Every structure is written in C-alpha cells, then in structure tokens.
Amino acid sequence: MIEHQNLSEPIYDRLKEMIVSGELKPGEKIVQEKIAELLGVSRTPLMKALLALENDFLLESIPRRGMYVKTLNDKELYDIYVCREALEGMAARILAESNDSKQIAQLKNCFKSFNSENKINSNAYTKADEAFHSLLIKLTGNAPLDKIYFFGSIYEKVINRGLLRPPEETLKEHHSIIKAIEEGDPYLAEKNAREHIQKSRILLLNK
Amino acid sequence: MIEHQNLSEPIYDRLKEMIVSGELKPGEKIVQEKIAELLGVSRTPLMKALLALENDFLLESIPRRGMYVKTLNDKELYDIYVCREALEGMAARILAESNDSKQIAQLKNCFKSFNSENKINSNAYTKADEAFHSLLIKLTGNAPLDKIYFFGSIYEKVINRGLLRPPEETLKEHHSIIKAIEEGDPYLAEKNAREHIQKSRILLLNK
DNA sequence: TTAATGTATTTTGTATACAAAATACAAATA
DNA sequence: TATTTGTATTTTGTATACAAAATACATTAA
C-alpha cells in the first residue's frame, strides 16, 4: 500500500489522540516497530510524526534509547502556565487593540450556551474553555505566536487530572476578558487574561 | 561509514549555520539528495534535521513540493518581536522575583567589556546582545519557555539586515533591565524588558 | 509565435535492509 | 546468594530501494 499522501499527518493526529486520551500512558516507551505495525505504516513516516510530537512536548526523546510519553511533573505544568500567562495576556492585548466586532462575537460564541443555564455541564464547558483559549491566540493572526502555543495539546492531559477550578468561577473571568477586549482596553484585557491564568497557576502549587 | 551517533544533531547545527550565514539563501529550495550528498549523509538523518529546522521557523515545508529556506517578511518579523516582548518580559519578571546574585552577575557579565569603552565594536556587541537575551530566558529554568523561545536562531538573520538601533542606545536599556532585576522589582523588570523589545519592534514597522 | 500536450527526468514520500547500540538473560565466578 | 561476564535478542540509527507526484522540456497543434 504505497500511496503518496502525507501519512505523517494522520499518524501525528492519531498518536496525539492516543497520548491525550491516555491510551498511551505517561512514561510509556514508544517502540517504533510496534506502533508502526499497529498503525499499518513503516517507521519512516512514523518517525516524522514522533519528532513533531516531541516538539509539542508530548513525547520525550532519549538519544539511542527511544521516545517516551512525556510525564508532566508539577514544575513543568506550572512552567507551562507561566508561558500561557505571558502569551495569552499579549494575545488579549492585541485583540483589544484591534477591537474587531466580528472577533468579539466569535469569542462570545464560545460560551453562549452557558450564559442562561443554571447548571453547567462540566464536560461541555471544558471543551468551550479549550476552544476559547485557543481562539484567543488564533485571532491575533500572529503565526509565530500560534506556532509556539502548543499548550492546547497538553490541556486535556491537565484536565484529566480534574478541573482546576469550578466553571462558575472561570466563566466570569472569561467574560471579563472579552469585555475588556470589547471596550478596547488593551491594558485591562491583558491584566484580566493574565490574572485568569495566574489563579489556576497558583492552585497548581498547592497540589 | 555507518557509525551510530546522532548524525541529525550535527546536520541540524550545520544547516542552521548555513541558513543564518546566508550560505543557503532565503527562498532557496532544499533539494534533499543534494544536501545529503554535500554533507555526506543519507536522506534519513537529514530529514530529521530538516523537520527540526522547520520547527525553528528557519525552513518552510510545502507538502509534496519540498522544504524552502524561510523568507521572513516584515509582518512575521514584527510578530516574532511581539512574542519576544511577552516572553522576555515574563522572564525578566521571574528573574527579578528570585533575585539571585549569581544570575545577576552572569547577566552583567554579558556587557562587561562595553562598560568602560568609548567606542563599541558592533560585531562583538551583536554577539553580546544575543547572549544576553538568550541568557534571560535560560536563567528562568523554565523548560517550556526555553523550548518555545527559538527566536535566537532568527536573530542573526535579522541583524544581517543591519542593526535596528545603535549599541549606545540599547546598552542603557540592557542595564536598566538588569538593574530592575537586581533591585528585585518584578514589575519594573518586566516593563523595561518589554519596552526594550517594543522600541525595536516599532522600528520594524517603518522599514 | 504561443499554447497545449505528452514524455523524460527529477524529487519527494514511503518501505525495507542492515549495522551498531542497548537490553535481556543465562552462565560463570566470587 | 549476589555479582559479574558473555551471548542472544531487541531496537534504534542510518542507508538504500522504489513508487508516485512534481517538474522540465521537447514536440505538436493552433
């Protein structure tokens, strides 16, 4: 079955899913031949996908030893939140500066189903949360920013440990970020976005 | 010559140098077989290096067409400076928080040879500048931050267009960043670091 | 002359083959 | 028994082989 598309891409997607879902457990070794056979491909395109996943912080490579599913310790998780704070803060600032009503509508749309409800479905909210934070970055139109913001992949892994804070609490904060963007207040937008991440970050310390 | 070390790493280093130095020109296509032969290796380890370089924003891949040396347009360069502003600002804040005299000494050391001199060697200063900004990130001990901060590789490419601002001007700013860190003032350290990048960023707009 | 078409060549994407390092495990030694 | 040593097996790193897509180029038709 030699059919020249980009095999690496579907492999990458599949493996990412397997890692995030826990099908491949943290610390587990990726034995290339086994995974290749499992996915029905050769080691060559698999290797490409593995390298991409390493760059996403989902795999860890020890030269001459192999690739392992990354186990995020508390320090690393904390450090990722530090990066998120800086990057999402900047993203919020940029969006507030451009103050685009279409963009604001998109941001609002993430949480529209939760506004009127009294009881928030935790699973649906987690998805919305992820979409919102990812959208915040995407809407800036800053390609390098989007490239380095690989934390989305890790997000689900974090969530699997249990939501850090109740939706009722974070929903307010999300809206305050959007509101500052809508008011065209870059300083406040950045401040709100940063404080939002910071609150979760601090919780990670006492875990 | 089959000798199992990590060929990919030296290949990566060599290619990075060739790109940064301009031996490989922006927009130039990387013909795998040619480069492989030039470096005396096969396409397999070369491919690994190419993928890493793509992740560093130094190469651009068009599926089924090939890899090309990235041509940074003004918008992308500007966007990179936006990221730098966020990340280096955060780094300066962190260093100010920990307020470690050893770290501060290291930072000062970057510019020690320029303090007493009246005429600054532009070439040496460029190297010092690069070392300083890279060190700022490294000293935080934040691995994800260091991983996403690939801009150092691009730095020289930018500089090749000509220094954005005279050393006399930026040297002061560098010292003001260090000073704020030394005084343990996270807010000021972040502010100074950000303004430092911002000033260069704004210049990029009028180019 | 210009545009279109078909063929040859080049180049990428993938699979496979093989060498050397790493690992597992059994036998030998203390 | 615990530790070392040697051998077999596994697995990675690299090279090569080959198919299909992309490109170059010449030939033909308008």
B102 touches strand C (CB under 7 A): no
pLDDT above 90 for A86: yes
pLDDT above 60 for B118: yes
Distance CA B71 to C1' D16 in A: 33
B86·A82 Cβ contact <8 A: no
User: What is the domain partition of chain A in residue ranges?
Assistant: 8-69, 74-205
Tens-digit pLDDT profile for residues A48-68: 999 999 999 999 999 999 999
Distance CA B23, CA A44 (A): 29
Structure confidence at residue B3 as a pLDDT band (50, 70, 90) = very low
CATH topology of domain B8-69: Arc Repressor Mutant, subunit A (1.10.10)
B82·A90 Cβ contact <8 A: yes
pLDDT at position A155 is: 78
Distance CA B4 to C1' C19 in A: 8
B31 touches strand C (CB under 7 A): yes
Q: Which of A99-103, B81-85, B116-120, B145-149 has the lowest mean pLDDT?
A: B116-120
Encoded tokens for B45: 């380890």
Residue A25, Ramachandran bin (φ over 0: left; ψ between -120 and 50: alpha; else beta): beta
Taking the CA of residue B116 and the nearest CA in chain A, the distance in Å comes to 35
Tens-digit pLDDT profile for residues B174-204: 999 999 999 999 999 999 999 999 999 999 8
**Contact between A177 and A193 (Cβ < 8 Å):** yes
Structure confidence at residue A3 as a pLDDT band (50, 70, 90) = very low
Q: What percent of chain B has a predicted confidence (pLDDT) above 90?
A: 78
Structure confidence at residue B2 as a pLDDT band (50, 70, 90) = very low
Compute the CA torsion angle A179, A185, A187, A192 (nearest 10 deg). Answer: 0
Class of B74-205 in CATH: mainly alpha
Tens-digit pLDDT profile for residues B9-54: 999 999 999 999 899 999 999 999 999 999 999 999 999 999 999 9
Tens-digit pLDDT profile for residues A105-149: 999 999 999 976 678 888 899 899 999 999 999 999 999 999 999
B100 touches strand C (CB under 7 A): no
Count Cβ neighbours within 10 Å for each residue of A87-113 and write b for 16 or more, e otherwise.
Answer: bbbbbbbbbbeeeeeebbeebbebbee
Distance CA A201, CA A198 (A): 5
Q: Which of A48, A57, A89 sits opposite B147 (nearest CB)?
A: A57
pLDDT at position A123 is: 87
Tens-digit pLDDT profile for residues A146-201: 999 988 888 777 766 667 899 999 999 999 999 999 999 999 999 999 999 999 99
Residue A83 in contact with partner chain B when CB distance is under 8 A: yes
Mean pLDDT of A22-42: 96
pLDDT at position A205 is: 86
> Which chain C positions have some atom within 7 A of a protein CB?
10-17, 19-23
Taking the CA of residue B82 and the nearest CA in chain A, the distance in Å comes to 8
pLDDT at position B182 is: 98
Which residues, other chains included, contact B205 with Cβ-Cβ below 8 Å and sequence gap of 6+?
B74, B78
Taking the CA of residue A116 and the nearest CA in chain B, the distance in Å comes to 35
Distance CA A129, CA A168 (A): 12
Residue that wins the pLDDT comparison between B115 and A84: A84
Encoded tokens for A95: 């969006």
DSSP conformational letter for A141: T
| For the segment 2-61 of chain A, residues whose CB is within 7 A of strand C | 2, 4-8, 41-45, 48
Residue that wins the pLDDT comparison between A145 and B126: A145
**Contact between B146 and B137 (Cβ < 8 Å):** yes
Element (H, E) at A33: helix A32-39
**Contact between B154 and B173 (Cβ < 8 Å):** no
Distance CA A2, CA B60 (A): 25
Strand-strand pairing, A29-30 and A66-69: antiparallel
Tens-digit pLDDT profile for residues B56-102: 999 999 999 999 999 988 899 999 999 999 999 999 999 999 999 99
Taking the CA of residue B145 and the nearest CA in chain A, the distance in Å comes to 6
Interface with chain A: mutation pick from B51, B54, B56, highest number of A CBs within 10 Å: B51
Sheet with B29-30, side-by-side order of all strands: B29-30, B66-69, B59-62
Residue that wins the pLDDT comparison between B120 and A100: A100
**Contact between A153 and A56 (Cβ < 8 Å):** yes
B30 touches strand C (CB under 7 A): yes
Alpha helices in chain B (DSSP H): 8-21, 32-39, 43-55, 74-98, 101-109, 112-115, 122-138, 143-148, 151-159, 167-182, 186-205
A72 touches strand C (CB under 7 A): no
pLDDT at position A1 is: 33
Residue B162 in contact with partner chain A when CB distance is under 8 A: no
Mean pLDDT of A91-104: 98
**A147-150 own/partner pairs: CB under 8 Å, 24+ apart:** A147/B57, A148/A87, A148/B83, A148/B148, A148/B150, A149/A87, A150/A55, A150/A56, A150/A57, A150/B148
Distance CA B173, CA B86 (A): 17
pLDDT at position A160 is: 64
Distance CA B186, CA B184 (A): 6
B48·A44 Cβ contact <8 A: no
